[in-house]
């Protein structure tokens, strides 16, 4: 049997241990973790070692954990504050930290018997708390650097506090040299065998007096995983199939849009907060880029200023320059209205599953770049009952059997409803919907009502793949990508 030098070194290390060792505890000078791990894999297939696999839990810091490590724990910040100022009243806390944090801080201080008296927190030296703070911070620090901890008390503590620790299960290998391995080492071993040929070996003539490592054609090679669909792709294909089964066709769209189509045509007033830079990514396209069907701006202008028959409009003076700003589309409803503008003969049933962009701060349930699922139906019989029944069919096929509708608001629909699903007794928001307002349909030249609904794809992906953090979808964690389970249909 032929062994590489690395395998021999690892085997030699193991021969000096009398019990199973964790792969992570193997230390061989000159070899990095990846080389050691690969040697262990080969030694296993060559049957020179025994391997046990055990599940190990590792941790990373969640968004809150990172934040606390940087800014200090809420209880720590509040305690330091009263330590410097002597006291703080409850309204002072509000100015000092946000409500969520102050709730945590007060609850944590309460455990150490620091409680508000007559509406104020008063400083008193508390050694237990000071010690606890040091311990808690050291713990978070060690999680950040090591990714694991044996401190079960701290783990329990922080697990109960939302989104500080993110737990991951990994298989850890424990290895032990077997009789074959010992026999191999007892034979003659040459660690100077040449493993790879270089120009120097040939030109210097060293090769003449060297031994070469032979090829062992019988060794099973490491298994290489073939290509997989990304879990999100699987979900997108499934949703596309549902729409197609329901007789919908896919509509096109693009990332960069004009405010004219993304907002104005949807009767979003020009001073609406979603238009602010804090919510929308505006872009300056290089070169010339034209607004599609720019004639819409005139029609939309009239509607915003004066309304359509039976409706008063916003009554302000519409700025056509605002319409010409370009942005990363914030929803796919923009594709719906433009498609209908060009397809005014009913019935039309269309859908898309496409990326949208929002200037959000990213956390465990928000992304700045996400997919939106959009469906719309334009027909004489498009009404609230049709909408509810379409959504029930659609969500039912996706696996959400029990849903309810609650009133909601979007500038372009009236009435508007949000769909809520019940999952294991808990409510989960699926997405918005409604009947397009006359102020949207009239300027587009549509004679019949339009009903539409939209929702985020990644939120559904979290449900399907049971993820606790939406960012996991895009982290390219190989272990997840190779082992995820395609979910059952039913909730």
Question: Is there binding between residue 453 and ligand PHE (CB under 6 A)?
Answer: yes
Tokens of 157: 């503590």
Residue 310 half-sphere exposure, CB side, CA atoms within 13 Å?
4
Q: Which one of 253, 432, 443, 449 is in contact with ligand PHE (CB under 6 A)?
A: 432
Q: Of 213 and 365, which CB lies nearer to ligand PHE in the complex structure?
A: 365
Distances (CA, A) of 191 to 6, 8, 180: 9, 8, 19
Q: Of 6 and 433, which CB lies nearer to ligand PHE in the complex structure?
A: 433
Q: Is 133 helix (H, G, I), strand (E, B) or coil?
A: helix
Q: Of 108 and 416, which CB lies nearer to ligand PHE in the complex structure?
A: 416
Q: Choose one: 98-106, 214-222, 308-316, 452-460; the region binding ligand PHE (CB under 6 A).
A: 452-460
Q: Choose one: 116-124, 147-155, 299-307, 446-454; the region binding ligand PHE (CB under 6 A).
A: 446-454
CA distance 98 to 96: 7
Question: Is there binding between residue 333 and ligand PHE (CB under 6 A)?
Answer: yes
Angle of helix 5-15 versus helix 179-186 axis, rounded to 10: 110
Strands 403-410 and 348-357: unpaired
* CB-closest chain residue to ligand PHE: 454
Residues binding ligand PHE: number (CB under 6 A): 11
Q: Of 68 and 436, which CB lies nearer to ligand PHE in the complex structure?
A: 436
Question: Is there binding between residue 454 and ligand PHE (CB under 6 A)?
Answer: yes
List all residues 6 or more positions away from 189 whose beta carbon is below 8 Å from its beta carbon.
8
Q: Of 121 and 391, which CB lies nearer to ligand PHE in the complex structure?
A: 391
* Residue span 369-408 as binding mask against ligand PHE, x where in contact by CB under 6 A, dash where not: ----------------------------------------
Kindly report the backbone phi and psi dihedral angles of residue 147, in degrees, each rounded to the nearest multiple of 5, phi listed first: 80, 5
Helix intervals (H) in 97-187: 99-111, 127-146, 152-159, 179-186
Residue 267 Cβ, how far from ligand PHE at the closest point, in Å?
A: 12
Q: Which one of 275, 331, 338, 371 is in contact with ligand PHE (CB under 6 A)?
A: 331
Question: Is there binding between residue 433 and ligand PHE (CB under 6 A)?
Answer: yes
Tokens of 241: 């199939």
CA distance 24 to 15: 16
Q: Choose one: 109-117, 142-150, 224-232, 449-457; the region binding ligand PHE (CB under 6 A).
A: 449-457
Q: Choose one: 106-114, 159-167, 239-247, 429-437; the region binding ligand PHE (CB under 6 A).
A: 429-437
CA distance 377 to 158: 48
Peptide bond into 347 cis (omega under 30): yes
Contact 332, 253 (CB under 8 A): yes
CA distance 257 to 151: 52
Q: Of 6 and 416, which CB lies nearer to ligand PHE in the complex structure?
A: 416
Using the structure block, give the residue that is written with the tokens 């009947």. 435
Question: Is there binding between residue 434 and ligand PHE (CB under 6 A)?
Answer: yes
Q: Of 74 and 432, which CB lies nearer to ligand PHE in the complex structure?
A: 432
Q: Which residues bind ligand PHE (CB under 6 A)?
A: 331, 333, 410, 413, 416, 432-434, 452-454
């Amino acid at each position: 049997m032929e062994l590489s030098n690395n395998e021999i070194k690892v085997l030699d290390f193991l021969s000096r241990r009398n019990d199973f060792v964790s792969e992570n505890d193997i230390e061989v000078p000159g070899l990095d973790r990846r080389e050691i791990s690969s040697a262990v894999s080969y030694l296993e297939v060559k049957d020179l070692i025994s391997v046990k696999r055990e599940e190990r839990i590792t941790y990373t810091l969640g968004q809150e954990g990172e934040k606390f490590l940087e800014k200090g724990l809420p209880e720590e910040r509040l305690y330091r504050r009263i330590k410097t100022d002597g006291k703080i009243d409850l309204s002072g806390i509000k100015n000092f930290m946000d409500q969520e944090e102050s709730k945590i801080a007060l609850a944590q201080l309460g455990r150490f018997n620091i409680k508000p008296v007559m509406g104020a927190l008063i400083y008193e030296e508390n050694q237990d708390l000071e010690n606890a703070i040091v311990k808690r911070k050291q713990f978070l620090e060690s999680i950040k650097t090591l990714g694991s901890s044996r401190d079960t008390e701290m783990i329990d503590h922080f697990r109960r506090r939302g989104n500080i620790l993110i737990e991951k299960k990994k298989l850890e290998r424990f290895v032990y040299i077997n009789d074959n391995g010992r026999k191999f080492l007892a034979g003659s071993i040459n660690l100077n065998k040449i493993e790879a040929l270089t120009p120097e070996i040939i030109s210097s003539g060293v090769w003449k007096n060297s031994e070469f490592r032979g090829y062992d054609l019988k060794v099973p090679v490491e298994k290489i995983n073939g290509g997989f669909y990304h879990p999100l792709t699987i979900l997108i294909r499934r949703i596309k199939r549902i729409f197609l089964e329901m007789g919908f066709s896919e509509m096109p769209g693009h990332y960069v849009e004009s405010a004219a189509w993304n907002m104005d045509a949807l009767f979003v007033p020009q001073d609406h907060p979603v238009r602010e830079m804090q919510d929308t990514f505006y872009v300056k396209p290089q070169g010339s880029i034209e607004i599609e069907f720019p004639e819409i701006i005139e029609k939309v202008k009239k509607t915003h200023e004066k309304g359509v028959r039976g409706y008063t409009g916003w009554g302000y003076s519409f700025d056509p320059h605002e319409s010409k700003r370009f942005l990363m589309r914030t929803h796919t409803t923009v594709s719906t209205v433009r498609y209908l503008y060009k397809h005014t003969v009913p019935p039309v049933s269309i859908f898309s599953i496409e990326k949208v962009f929002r200037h959000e701060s990213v956390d465990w349930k928000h992304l700045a770049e996400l997919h939106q699922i959009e469906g719309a139906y334009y027909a004489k019989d498009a009404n609230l009952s049709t909408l509810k029944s379409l959504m029930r069919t659609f969500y039912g096929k996706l696996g959400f059997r029990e849903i309810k509708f609650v009133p909601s608001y979007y500038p372009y629909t009236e009435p508007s409803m949000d769909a809520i699903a019940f999952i294991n007794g808990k409510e989960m928001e699926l997405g918005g919907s409604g009947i397009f307002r006359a102020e949207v349909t009239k300027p587009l030249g549509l004679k019949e009502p339009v009903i539409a609904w939209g929702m985020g794809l990644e939120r559904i992906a979290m449900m399907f793949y049971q993820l606790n953090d939406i960012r996991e979808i895009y982290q390219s964690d190989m272990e997840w990508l190779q082992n995820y389970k395609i979910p059952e249909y039913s909730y």
